Amino acid sequence: MVSVFILSVMFMNFMIAVVSDSYAAVMASVAPLSYKLKAQMIAERESLMSIEELKNPVLNPRYLILRLVEGGDSELRGER
């Protein structure tokens, strides 16, 4: 009876480890995929814009300003 309990606990520990590894792999690919999808949506929207909209400085500013939190998440900085 005790051996069945120990084996059950060991099996559950193994299952938790497998699920944890799968979750970590999925979460590692979320940020790059999110950026890719956002870029595709921007490209699609720009392809539908008229010439007047493309030349509008409010819709298409000359400079793009990015701000990152100092010491923030490495995924946001593009590091791995």
Any domain includes 9 = yes
Residue 34 to residues 8, 38, 45, Cα–Cα distance (Å): 39, 6, 17
Taking all residues of the chain, what is their mean pLDDT, rounded to a whole number?
Answer: 84
What pLDDT digit, counting tens, does each position of 48-78 carry?
Answer: 989 998 888 888 888 877 777 676 555 555 5
SS3 23: helix
Confirm whether pTM is higher than 0.85.
no
- Residues 72 and 35: their CA atoms lie apart, in Å, by 17
- Residue pointed to by tokens 């949506």: 41
Any domain includes 76 = no
What pLDDT digit, counting tens, does each position of 10-57 carry?
Answer: 999 999 999 999 999 888 888 888 888 988 998 898 899 899 988 888
Which residues span the domain enclosing 17?
Answer: 2-55
Query: What DSSP designation does 78 have?
Result: T
Structure tokens at 6: 């120990």
Percent of the chain with pLDDT over 70: 86
In the chain, the amino acid numbered 72 is G
Count of domains observed in the chain? 1
